[in-house]
């Protein structure tokens, strides 16, 4: 009952946040009426009321990296292993996929090429995932700060590789993935559902899932009963990293077919926020990542109307913080009512 009320508060806050973001976009854009119209009709045509399939397809593509990163992180966060390395893992996944398919194995059959790229990206993501896990387990280094530094290092290295080794011509831009390797949006959905099933299976049907739950609720108890913290964090870091790396590969295969000087940012951090907002529940993490992807899609549409680029990230914050505040307000209200009774 209380959870339902909190959810209602969160939804109300979400709408208020969306209204604030729309208002801000209207104020700064050259055409407020168009902004208002797009605010309510990103996914459908406002005149014929038909679904705008290209927007829906793009939304599904954007959902891929965010959703996959969020799914892996739900397990990490549940075990109180708060890594935020997904940003770098997604970026490295994109880079490896583009490098392999556009430069190395561009003449392979589509199935084989895509399989190689996906495996390599997942492996790279998993490798990056081990860094915060190992340093936390063996050195007690704060995994959030380590992951942040890893993200920044990866961003600089990817940027360097794009602007030197993979650059073609005068502009800083890589080759594009050939058409025959590109995936349709439905395949992104298939990957998301498969990953959800995998995470659900691990969480509820394996000993790792049980250990995660025990460790999350009481670290001391888990350690007393012989749980190996280093091994646990390593497994979770590898799993979350592989999923985020896979997300990067999917992004490259579905919508980000090349990289330029301006690297695509924020997908990993959106995944972190989705996992955190979900209360570590995989299905809710998928739902919240869809919401954040929708906000991103809407903000991209606003950019066409002259709203600056930073608005993409800013609007996300306004909406998420409003939703959180709504849930909090409802929770506080409940407590006060209970106290009065």
Partner 1 sequence: MFEALISIAQLTVDMFTPLAILAVGETVLQRTGRANLGLEGFLALGASVAVVATAYSDNQFIGLFSAALAGALFSALYTALTTYLKFNQFAIGLLIGFLGLGLADLIAIIPDKPIGRPIESGSLIHLSLQVLPLVVAVIAFLVLTKTWIGVEIRAIGANPAIARERGLRVNEVRAVAATIEGLLAGLAGAYISLALFGGKYWTGMTMGLGWVALGCVILGYWNPIGAVLASYLIGSLKASRPYLGALGVPGWVADVSPYLATIAVLCAVGLLLKKRPQLKPPYFET
Q: How far is the CB of 86 from partner 1 (least distance, A)?
A: 12
Q: CA distances (Å), 21 to each of 4, 255, 266, 269, 295, in order?
A: 25, 26, 18, 20, 10
Whole-number Cα distances in Å, 192 to 64, 125, 291: 7, 17, 15
Minimum CB distance to partner 1 smaller for 279 or for 283:
279
Retrieve residue 120's tokens: 């390599």
CB of 283 to partner 1, least distance (A): 20
Residue 191 Cβ vs partner 1, minimum distance, rounded to whole Å:
26
C-beta of 46 vs 306, nearer to partner 1: 306
Minimum gap (Å) between residue 146 Cβ and partner 1:
6
> For residues 23 and 44, which CB has a smaller minimum distance to partner 1 in the complex?
23
Token pair 């998993």 is found at: 126
Q: What are phi and psi for residue 34, nearest 5 degrees?
A: -65, -40
Name which of 57 and 167 has its Cβ closer to partner 1. 167
| Sites of contact with partner 1 (CB under 8 A) | 24, 28, 80, 82, 84, 135, 138-142, 144-146, 148-150, 152-153, 156-157, 160, 266, 269, 272-273, 276, 307-318, 320-321, 324-325, 328
The structure tokens listed for 171 are 């502009």
- Work out how close the CB of 80 gets to partner 1 at its nearest, in angstroms, rounded to a whole number: 7
CB–CB of 100/113 below 8 Å? yes
- Cβ–Cβ < 8 Å for 56, 63: no
Select 144 or 172, whichever has its Cβ closest to partner 1. Answer: 144
- The minimum distance between CB 48 and partner 1, in angstroms, equals 33
**Nearer to partner 1 by C-beta: 160 or 336?**
160
Closer of 151 and 254 to partner 1 (Cβ): 151
Residue 210 CB, shortest distance to partner 1, in Å, is: 22
| Torsion, CA 6, CA 8, CA 13, CA 16, rounded to 10 | -170
Q: Exposed/middle/buried for 105, CB within 10 Å: 0-12, 13-18, 19+?
A: middle
Burial annotation 248-287 (CB, 10 A radius, 16+ → b, else e): bbbbbbbbbbbbeeeebebbbbbbbbbbbbbebebebbbe
Check if the beta carbon of residue 74 is closer than 8 Å to that of residue 282: yes
How near is the Cβ of 339 to partner 1 at its closest, in Å?
A: 18
* Between 191 and 311, CB nearer to partner 1: 311
**C-beta of 205 vs 262, nearer to partner 1:** 262
Q: Quick one: tokens of 189?
A: 């959905």
Q: Which residues, in sequence order, are bridge partners of residue 51?
A: 44
Side-chain-side CA neighbours of 60 within 13 Å: the count stands at 19
Distance of closest approach, residue 73 Cβ to partner 1, in angstroms: 11
């Amino acid at each position: 009952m209380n959870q339902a009320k909190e959810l209602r508060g969160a939804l109300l806050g979400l709408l208020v946040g969306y209204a604030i973001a729309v208002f801000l976009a209207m104020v700064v854009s050259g055409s407020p009426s168009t902004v208002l119209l797009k605010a309510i009709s990103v996914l459908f045509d406002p005149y014929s009321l038909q679904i705008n399939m290209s927007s829906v397809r793009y939304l599904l593509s954007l959902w891929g990296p965010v959703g996959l990163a969020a799914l892996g992180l739900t397990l990490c966060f549940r075990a109180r292993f708060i890594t935020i390395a997904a940003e770098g893992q997604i970026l490295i996944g994109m880079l490896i996929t583009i490098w392999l398919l556009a430069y190395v194995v561009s003449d392979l059959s589509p199935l084989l090429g895509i399989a190689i790229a996906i495996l390599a990206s997942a492996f790279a993501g998993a490798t990056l995932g081990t860094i915060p896990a190992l340093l936390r387990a063996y050195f007690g280094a704060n995994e959030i700060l380590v992951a942040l530094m890893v993200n920044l290092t990866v961003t600089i290295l990817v940027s360097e590789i794009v602007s030197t080794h993979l650059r073609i011509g005068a502009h800083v831009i890589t080759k594009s993935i050939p058409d025959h390797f590109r995936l349709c949006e439905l395949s992104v959905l298939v990957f998301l559902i498969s990953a959800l099933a995998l995470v659900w299976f691990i969480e509820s049907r394996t000993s790792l899932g049980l250990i995660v739950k025990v460790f999350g609720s009481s670290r001391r108890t888990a350690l007393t009963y012989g749980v190996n913290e280093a091994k646990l964090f390593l497994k979770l870091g590898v799993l979350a990293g592989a999923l985020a790396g896979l997300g990067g590969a999917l992004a490259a295969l579905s919508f980000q077919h090349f990289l330029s000087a301006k690297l695509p940012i924020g997908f990993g951090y959106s995944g972190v926020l989705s996992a955190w907002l979900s209360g570590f529940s995989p299905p809710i993490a998928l739902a919240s990542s869809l919401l954040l992807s929708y906000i991103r899609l809407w903000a991209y549409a606003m950019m066409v109307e002259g709203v600056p680029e930073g608005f993409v990230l800013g609007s996300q914050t306004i909406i998420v913080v409003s939703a959180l505040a709504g849930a909090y307000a409802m929770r506080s209200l409940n407590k006060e009512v209970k106290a009065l009774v």
